Amino acid sequence: MEYQTLTYDLSNGVAIVTLNRADKMNALSTQMRAEIAHAFTQAGKESRVVVITGAGRAFCSGQDLGDRASSADIDLERTLRDEYAPMLRAIYDCPVPTIAAVNGPAAGAGANLALAADVVFATESAYFLQAFTRIGLIPDAGGTYMLPRQMGMAKAMGAALFADKISARQADDWGMIWEAVADKDFDAHWRAKAAHLASGPTAAFESVKKVIRGSWDNTLDAQLAFEAREQGKCGKSRDFKEGVMAFIEKRPAEFEGR
């Protein structure tokens, strides 16, 4: 697929999806949503880690309110069901680790696009904004699912009701994201973390995602059984044998992934 609203680069197992509508602060159009979904599906098949970031000064400003394809009708339920849900599922269900490198403001659906990734790094000058109630809406694009799970009910409710900016440092302190990083170190930092994951045990990472997420819906007994099944699979892998041997031989492990 030839992408029009983003760039897709694959190197050394790392796929980088860069939202590329800098003049619109990378606002989400109908076409961009479809392209993001396609890019993550593609990356899940050919990479060992996927990074999503933004071109220019913003990560993503949310829904493009001037997008003709989006504003041809105002059926928000249909738009969320038919356009946002496939995009978010492609990110959330991606079998390899996913990183959001939030290089600037992430507002509305753009904030929740970032939170759909497994790990979020944000430059300290960035912020997150659940802007929805400012225009008479509720958080969408998965926000009502992600926010209470990542920052707790009290913070999630306040973020949704007040629609205040949440600085990257606050988001880090509140557990909303993994890490806020100094602007000068940001690019090198997330690239190093992506490279680390790309050299790791990809199959084990896939199991990590399954068992951590599965814990929300399981009883303790069910989760222990789920954990045991996935660990059994990992224990039979070449990566496990390599990891143990590397530990014994005091050398870096060379994981082959899936």
Write out pLDDT tens, residues 141-157: 999 999 999 999 999 99
CA distance linking residue 193 with residue 201, whole number of Å? 14
19 CB-near residues (< 8 Å, 6+ apart): 5, 6, 26, 32, 36, 52, 53, 54, 55, 59, 60
Round to the nearest angstrom and report the end-to-end CA distance of the chain: 25
Record: fold of 202-249: Lyase 2-enoyl-coa Hydratase; Chain  A, domain 2 (1.10.12)
Q: What value does the mean pLDDT take over residues 220-242?
A: 95
Q: What's the pTM value of the predicted model, to 2 decimals?
A: 0.94
pLDDT value at 67 more than 80? no
* Domain 6-198, classified CATH 3.90.226.10, yes or no: yes
Residue ranges per structural domain of the chain: 6-198, 202-249
Q: Please report the pLDDT score of residue 70 as a whole number.
A: 53
Share of the chain above pLDDT 70, in %: 97
Share of the chain above pLDDT 90, in %: 93
Write out pLDDT tens, residues 155-196: 999 999 999 999 999 999 999 999 999 999 999 999 999 999
Q: Are 186 and 193 in contact (CB under 8 A)?
A: no
